[in-house]
């Protein structure tokens, strides 16, 4: 049975993870406040890119966006982000949350057929409608928020 496992036993995966953490902590060493202050002073001495360059409009106009326009963006273009589609939401009490079970229906704040919100890391970037692609759900973007507006929402 699966319940016969000793809770004090360490699986190979857990041991590998523990070894990785131990190696990382050993590599970090004992950094004192003086070491941290020295690293911060060193990073402050290096020239930084002014923020105005990142906020400057793209060459093709205010609403166009071409990652090739700014070589500084190449560093971040391969960073993974989470994209999600929000059907709707609602507020309920904890009492009602605890009473939910299979077959329960939760009413959302959206009308049927209304566009879904498309969010990247929690920030609204577009609206769209649900489609089926190769027997999987997909979303067709119907309204994309301009990069300029997205940047303004981040501030």
Average pLDDT rounded to a whole number, residues 130-142: 90
Average pLDDT rounded to a whole number, residues 59-88: 70
Instruction: Tell me the pLDDT tens digit for each residue of 22-50.
Output: 776 666 666 566 666 666 666 555 565 55
Average pLDDT score over the chain: 76
Among candidates 116, 112, 113, 122, which has minimal Cα distance to 154?
122
pTM over 0.75: no
Angle at 21 between CA 15 and CA 26, to 5 degrees: 125
CA–CA gap between residue 65 and residue 148 (Å, rounded): 9
Buried b (16+ CB within 10 A) or exposed e, 107-127: eeeeeeeebbbbeeeeeebbb
Determine the pLDDT at residue 123: 85
Instruction: Tell me the pLDDT tens digit for each residue of 7-21.
Output: 567 788 878 877 877
Q: Which residues contact 138 (CB under 8 A, 6 or more apart)?
A: 130, 131, 132
Angle at 107 between CA 113 and CA 117, to 5 degrees: 45
Residue 79: CA atoms inside 13 Å, Cβ hemisphere, count? 8
Strand, helix or coil for residue 136: strand
CATH, range 77-101+113-154: 2.30.330.10
The label of the residue with tokens 């993974």 reads 80
Q: What are phi and psi of 25, to 5 degrees?
A: -65, -40
Strand, helix or coil for residue 3: helix
In this structure, are residues 123 and 82 in contact, taking their beta carbons and an 8 Å threshold? Answer: no
Return the higher-pLDDT residue of 88 and 72. Answer: 88
């Amino acid at each position: 049975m699966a319940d016969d496992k000793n809770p004090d036993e360490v699986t190979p995966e857990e041991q590998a993870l523990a070894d990785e953490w131990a190696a990382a902590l050993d590599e970090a060493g004992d950094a004192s406040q003086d070491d941290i202050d020295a690293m911060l002073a060193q990073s402050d001495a290096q020239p930084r890119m002014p923020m105005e360059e990142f906020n400057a409009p793209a060459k093709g106009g205010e609403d166009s966006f071409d990652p090739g326009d700014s070589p500084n963006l190449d560093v971040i273009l391969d960073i993974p982000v989470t994209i999600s589609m929000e059907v709707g939401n609602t507020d309920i009490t904890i009492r009602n949350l605890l009473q939910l079970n299979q077959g329960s229906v939760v009413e959302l704040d959206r009308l049927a057929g209304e566009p879904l919100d498309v969010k990247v890391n929690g920030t609204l970037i577009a609206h769209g409608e649900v489609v089926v692609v190769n027997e999987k759900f997909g979303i067709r973007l119907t309204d994309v928020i301009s990069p300029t507006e997205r940047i303004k929402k981040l501030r």
